[in-house]
Each structure stands twice: as C-alpha cells, then as structure tokens.
Amino acid sequence: MTTAITIPDKIEELPAMIALSNDRQRAFVYLLVVEGLSQAAAYVQAGYTAANKQTADSGGSRLAHSPAVQDAILQLGRAFARVAGTKALRALVKIVDDPQAKNRDIIAASAQLLDRSGFSSSTTHELLVEHRHTVPELRARIIALAEKHGFDGAALVGEDDPNIIDTTAEEVPTEPKASSDIPPEIADLF
C-alpha cells in the first residue's frame, strides 16, 4: 500500500532529512515524529510493503535504527519539541490561572513552570573520598602502573633507602630576632 505523504518544506529542508536516501525514509521520520505513529504504522504508511504485522514491526524497527534515520528523528524531534514546548508552557499557565483547577494540579503546573523558568530548587551534594594506603602498597601500585605502561617502575620510585625516615613534620614557631641581627637592607621587610 502506497500513500503519498506531504511533508512541509521547512521539514524537508532540515539537513538530516535531506541526507536521507529517499522520500519513503523522509515520510517514515515525519510520520513517526510529527504524527506520532508507531514504527510499524509509519513504515507501512511511508510506502514500504509488509506482508503482515510482524514484517511491518521488524521493518519499522530496522529502519528506525538506521544511523541516518536516527539523525533525522533527533533533528526533527528537537525542532518539533521547540514548537510544542511553547504550547505546553501555555497549557501550564492556563492550569495555574484556572480558578476551577484542583490545588494539586495548580501546584504541579506551578512547579513545572518554576523549574523551566530558572526558579527550580537547587541541591548541593558533598562527597568525601579517603584513600588510606601504606607506603609499601603505594610503591607497589606505582611500580605496577609504570610497568604496565612500559616504564621501569623500580627506577621510577627508587630503591628503599634505610636512611630515609618516613615521618611527619610540625612547624615550630621561631623567636623573633633582635633588630640588630637583621641586615639593614632587608630590615624593612620584617
């Protein structure tokens, strides 16, 4: 069954629609996105032949998963959503302004309007990640990663040196020096 589908020029002129191989693919995308048909129904109405429902289902699914068709669906869908979005906002405003509307509907519509107009509530999340590893564990990990990427891990981290002491330091405040101990050329820095 072949049906002639008239697609508006502005839709046919979208780059992704032009890139499609033929008019049946363009009709399929149009019927799917704008008319809201199922993949099987769009497949048949676009002019593809299908012996039965199963053939139409598989043909529609296969066509809908084609990369070029997916690009066209996405591009037309975005354009359609921009137009439909303004209608949806007007509908939400009507609900908010309707004195006969139920409170729950007014609250839901108000929340949607606030969310879309930049007045949505904000949330803050904090995540603290602590890693506790011993020095030998860290050395082993560094060596393994270095060797995985073609470097000599042992040379990178160095040998264990018994003269190196693993400790923490604490800053000790110093007593101010007498002004006579400070050279005059830098005395004004203190």
Q: Are 62 and 47 in contact (CB under 8 A)?
A: no
Whole-structure pTM value: 0.50
SS3 93: helix
pLDDT digits (tens, 9 = 90+) for 73-111: 999 988 887 777 778 888 888 888 999 999 999 888 888
Structural domain includes residue 175: no
Q: Are 77 and 36 in contact (CB under 8 A)?
A: no
| Domain end call among 116, 144, 171 | 116
pLDDT digits (tens, 9 = 90+) for 141-155: 888 998 999 988 887
Counted domains in the chain: 2
Which residue shows structure tokens 């296969």?
Answer: 62
Q: Are 5 and 46 in contact (CB under 8 A)?
A: yes
Enclosing domain of residue 87: 9-116
Structural domain includes residue 75: yes
Q: Same structural domain for residues 98 and 53?
A: yes
Catalogue the long-range contacts made by 123-129 (C-beta closer than 8 Å, 24 or more residues apart). Answer: none
C-alpha pair distances (Å), 38 with each of 25, 28, 174: 14, 10, 80
Tallying the residues shown for the chain, one arrives at 190
Q: Same structural domain for residues 70 and 103?
A: yes
> Within a 13 Å sphere around the CA of 85, how many CA atoms are in the beta-carbon half?
10
pLDDT band at 188 (very low <50, low <70, confident <90, very high): low
Structural domain includes residue 48: yes
- Token output for 21: 């191989």
Rg (CA), the chain: 35
pLDDT digits (tens, 9 = 90+) for 35-88: 999 999 999 999 999 999 999 999 999 999 999 999 999 999 888 877 777 788
SS3 168: coil
Instruction: Count Cβ atoms within 10 A of the Cβ of residue 29 and give its class: 0-12 exposed, 13-18 middle, 19 or more buried.
Output: buried
